[in-house]
Structure 1
Amino acid sequence: MGVRDEQQLLHILFFPFLAPGHLIPVADMAALFAARGVKCTILTTPVNAAVIRSVVDRANDGFRGTDVPAIDIAVVPFPDVGLPPGVESGPALNSEADREKFFHAIQLLREPFDRFLAENSPDAVVADSFCTWSVDAAGEHGVPRLAFLGSSMFSRACSDSMLRNNPVEAAPDDPDALVPLPGLPHRVELRRSQMLDPRKRPEHWAFYKSVNAADQKSYGELFNSFHELEPDYFQHYTTTLGRRAWLVGPVALASKDVATRGANGLSPDADGCLRWLDAKPAGSVVYVSFGTLSHFSPAELRELARGLDLSGKNFVWVINGADTDESEWMPEGFAELMARGERGLIIRGWAPQMLILNHLAVGGFLTHCGWNSTLEAVSAGVPMVTWPRYADQFYNEKLVVELLKVGVGVGSTDYASKLEARRVIGGEVVAEAIGRVMGDSEEGEAIRNSAKELGEKARSAVEKGGSSYDDVGRLMDELMARRASVDV
C-alpha cells in the first residue's frame, strides 16, 4: 500500500478507558472498522496494551496479504501519580485514594492525546465517555469526537432520565420504595436501593452529569448494540433526545480471537474447560461469571456455592483471583463435589467466555449484567440469570428480564461498589432462578426460545446487509464527506 493510498484512507483514533470492560470492545471495534478499510490506531498505556495485544495481533494476521491496513497500538507511558508500578487499570484499584490517583492519571493523558491529534490529524476519534476532557481536546484540533461508553442504549436512556429528573430526591426514604424513571418508552422503575443516590454519592452524580454533557457536545455516539435489540430506545435516543447515534455491534462477533481476548494468558484451568463441557449434555451447564470488577464477600460466595449445589445443574464457575481464601467461604461438602469434577468446574482467572457461551452444553449464564457479558450471551443465544451489582447493571437487568424476556433475576437490590457491603442473597433463591431459566416449565421454554431468536438477529446484524454493518458504512460515508468538505 503506497503513501498516497494511506493518505486516502479514513483514519480513526480509538482512546479507551483503562479497564478491560472498556478496552476489549474498543479493540473489537477497531478490528471491525479496519476490516472495512479504515486505518485504526488505539492509544493506550503499556499494561493496557498487553490486554488487547492478542485481539489486535489476531485481527492483523487475518488482514495479511490484503489491502486492509494493520491496526496500530500507540503506547504512551502511564502518568506517575504515586500508584505502584503496573497499576494502570480499574480492577487493580483497592481503595478510594488509589481511585482518585487513577482518575488524575486519566486527566494527565490529555497531553499525549493532544500530541497524537496534532501530529496525525485523524478523521475522527472514538473516545471513551469517561474521558470527558477529550471532547474539548478533539474540538481544539478540529477532530470530531465520537463518544463510546460500551453500554446499552436502554441504560443510557435510563441514565439520561435519572440525571435530568433526579427522581430519587422525591422518592420516599425507604430502600424498597419503587422509583419510576420518567419520559421513557416503557414504564421503568427500580427500587431506591438499586439507584445512585446523589446525596450519598455527590461526586459520582457530578461525574455522570459531566459524562452526559460531554457526550451531548460530541459529534455523535457509538453503541455496542444493534437496532433489532432495542429499537424503541434507538428511536427515543435519536428523536426524543435528539442525539446522534450509530449502532455497530455486537462488536465481539468481529473478533478472530475468541479464545484469549482480553488476557495476557488464559487461566491454567481454562484449557480443560472445553473438554469438560464436551462430555456434558446439551443445555445442561450453567456458566457463572461476574466480570473483572465484581467482588463477593465470603458470605455471598458461600450462598452462591450453595445455590449451585441446590440447583442440581452442572456448572462452570469463574472466580476472580482477588476473591477470598476458599476456606473462608466454601460450604460443607462443596470441596468433595468439586473434587469429583462431575458436576462442577471452577476456573480461577481469565476464562474464554465467548467459547464457553457458544458451547452446546451451556444452557444458562449467571451474570452481573455488565454490557459486554450481556451482549455476548445475547449473541450466543444463551438465557441469563441476572445478579447486578453496580453502575449500569441494574438498568441492563431491566432490559434483559422485563423487555427482552430472556432472563430471570435473583433479586439483587443493592447498588454498591466492590469496596462496599450488600445484602446476602440466599442459596435457595439462586437455585430457584437457575431452575426457572433452565428447567422444563413453559416459562423456561419461552425464555430459551426468545434467547435463541435474539442470537440469530445479533449474528445477522453484523453480516453484510445487516443493520450494524450498514451503520458502520453510513458513518464511514459521513466522515469521508466531512473530510471532502473540510479539504475544500
Structure 2
Amino acid sequence: MGTTSELVFISFPALSHLALMVEMARRPVNRNNRLSVTVLIIKFPFNSKIDSNVQSFTASVTTRICFILLPQLNPSLETSAMAFLNQSVESHKADVQGAIANLSARSLPRLKGLIVDMFCTSMIDVAVKFGIPSYVFIPLGVACSDTELDFPCFANPLPATKFLPAEMFMKEDCRIFLGHARKFRETKGILVNTFAELEPRAVEALADLGAPVVYPVGPILNIEVESKKGFEILDWLHQQPDASVVLLFFRRYGSFDEDQTKQIACALDRSGCRFLWSLRRPPAKGKLEAPCDYAGSRGEGFINQTASVGRVIGWAPQVAILAHRAIGVLMSHCGWNSTLESGWFGVPVAAWPQYAEQQFNAFQLVIELSLAMEIRRDYRRDLVKGSDSIVTTDEMEGVIRRLMEREEAKEMRKKVKEASEKRKKALVEGGSRYLSLGRVIEDVCSRQASS
C-alpha cells in the first residue's frame, strides 16, 4: 500500500544543517511505511556544489524521501553574516508557499505537517496559512540551545540572559536570534538533537519554561553513509597502534591564521605524538567565504619534519576517521556534531570552543561529564574578522600529553566508553530516542488533515 501521510522538511542553507535534516527525515520514514517526506532545499547563495550534494543525498535515501531544490536567489551582501543568511531564507518564502500549495493539492499522501530548521522559523507562517501544524528542528543539544530555548522571550519581551548582555540585544544579529526564539512558541513541538541520558536535567527543565512539547530525537549522526566511503588517509591510520593518534579537526569552517598554526605545529612537535591534522586556510579578513585547504609550500618544513609520526591534510569527513581504532584523542572546537560523534565512538576530547556560545555550552557539558579536558575556554574567533587571541604551544602540549600519556587519561577513556554505550542504547527499540521519535510520529499522523 502507498503512503498516506507526508511531512515537509525545510532546511537552512548550510550543508551541515541540510545533512542533519536529511538524517532526521530518514528516522520517521524508516519507522512508518505509510509516511513520506519532501525536503525543500534553500540554496546557499554562491554555492555551486549544492546540486551534487543533493544528488548524493538522493542516492542514499529511500524512495519515500524526495527533494525539491528551490530557485537560487542572491540577497544583498551589505549586512552581517547572520542577517545575510536570514535574508536569504526570507526571500524564499513565496517559493516555499508555492511548493506546499502543489503538495497540498494532492488527495494522497495527505500533508500532515512542516518541520523547519531553527533558522527557518519564518516558514511557520506558511504552515499557518495552509492550516497544518509546524515543528521546529534544532540540530543542537539542549545545552547548546540555551540561548534560544531559555530566553525569557517565551513570556517576556525584554530578555537579558547570562549569555548575552542586555546592551547587545539592539544589535541586528541578536534581534534575529530573538525573532527565531519567539517563533518557537507558535509550533506544536520542538525536535532537539539530543537524548535524555546525555542531558537529563536540561530536558526535564524545558517542561517548566512554557515552551511547546520538546522531543529529544538524537543523537542524529550520519554514520552509515560516511563510514562506507574510502579515503587514502585510512591506509596510513591502519598502520598506527590503537588509540595512538591525535585528530585535529575543526569542521568545515574551522581555520587558523599563520601565527596560530605555528603554535599548534609546535605543540604537536614537542608532544611527540602521532597526529592527523585537517588544516584549513581562513578567508581574507572581512570576507564572508568558506575556508579552503592550504596550498603550495605553507608548512612544508613542519610536514617534512613530522612525516614519520603525522599527516597534515585538507578537509576530510570526520566520522569516517573518528571511527578508526587508531584515533585516541580529538582536538575540537566543541561543535555539537563533533561532541556527538566523539562520544559515539568513545574518543576523549581536547576542548577548545571557538566561534559561538553554543560551542561554549557544549564545552561546559563535556567538561562536566568528564568526557574532555580544557585547552582554552575564553578563546573567541569571529568567522569574518578572525581573532587577535593566541592559544599557546604550552597550553596545547600539556593537554595532549595528559590525554595521551598520563594515568588520568585511563579514567577518562573509561567514562567516555561508558557514555558511548548510553548513546547506542538510546537508539535501540525501547530506548529513549526510539520512544521520543515514536511520539512525534504518533502526534503527526493522528492529526486530521486540513480542510
Using the TM superposition, give the Cα deviation of residue 40 of structure 1 relative to its aligned residue in structure 2, in angstroms: 1.3
- 1:111 is matched with which residue: 83, 94, 105? 94
**1:465 matched residue in structure 2:** 430
Quick check: 28-37 or 472-481, which moved more?
A: 28-37
Structure 1 residues 112 and 257: CA distance shift in structure 2, 3 A: same
Indicate how the Cα distance of structure 1 residues 15 and 210 shifts in structure 2: closer, same or farther if over 3 A, else same.
same
Q: Residue 418 of structure 2: which of 442, 453, 457 is its match?
A: 453
1-structure distance, mates of 2:280, 2:136: 30
Q: Equivalents in 2 of 1:167, 1:206: separation in Å?
A: 11
Pairing of 1:53-452 with structure 2 (within 5 A): 53-60=55-62, 69-81=63-75, 96=79, 100-121=83-104, 122-157=111-146, 159-161=148-150, 181=162, 196-197=164-165, 199=167, 202-252=171-221, 255-259=224-228, 271-320=231-280, 322=291, 330=299, 333-338=301-306, 340=307, 342-349=308-315, 351-391=316-356, 392-402=358-368, 404-420=369-385, 421-442=387-408, 444-452=409-417
TM-score, normalised via structure 2 length: 0.86
Q: 1:97 to 1:234 in 2, by over 3 A?
A: closer
Summarize the Cα distance change of 1:354–1:274 in structure 2 as closer, same or farther, 3 Å threshold: same
Checking the alignment, whether the CA contact within 8 Å between 1:299 and 1:329 is kept in structure 2 is: no
- Cα distance, 1:160 vs structure 2: 4.1
User: Which ranges of structure 1 fall in alignment gaps of 5 or more residues?
Assistant: 61-68, 84-94, 170-179, 182-194, 261-269
> Using the alignment, how far apart are the partners of 1:217 and 1:416 within structure 2?
34
Quick one: which amino acid aligns to residue 248 of structure 2? V
1-structure distance, mates of 2:84, 2:420: 41
Aligned partner of residue 382 in structure 2, secondary structure? coil
Greater CA deviation, 99-108 or 10-19?
A: 99-108
How many angstroms apart in 2 are the aligned matches of 1:230 and 1:462? 15
Name the SS for the 2:12 alignment partner: coil
Shift of 1:451: 0.9
Give the 3-state SS of the residue equivalent to 1:146 in structure 2.
Answer: strand
Q: 1:457 to 1:205 in 2, by over 3 A?
A: same
Distance 2:53 2:305 in 1: 34
CA distance in 1 between counterparts of 2:198 and 2:16 reads 20
- Give distance in 2, aligned partners of 1:112 and 1:166: 31
Residue 410 of structure 1: how far off its partner (Å) = 0.9
Any unmatched runs of 5+ in structure 2? 44-48, 105-110, 282-290
TM-score (norm 1): 0.80
Residues 24 and 220, structure 2, Cα contact 8 Å, conserved in 1:
yes
One-letter amino acid of the structure 2 residue matched with residue 248 of structure 1: V
Compute the RMSD of aligned alpha carbons.
2.8
User: What is residue 33 of structure 1 aligned with on the other side?
Assistant: 28
| Separation (CA, whole Å) in 1 of partners of 2:88 and 2:363 | 32
Q: What residue identity is the alignment partner of 1:441?
A: E
| Aligned 8 A contact 1:301 1:329 in 2 | no
Equivalents in 1 of 2:397, 2:157: separation in Å? 36
Query: Relative to structure 1, is the Cα distance of residues 369 and 52 closer, same or farther in structure 2, using a 3 angstrom cutoff?
Result: farther
Query: Which structure's residues are more often helix, by fraction?
Result: 1
Q: Structure 1 residue 41: deviation in Å?
A: 1.3
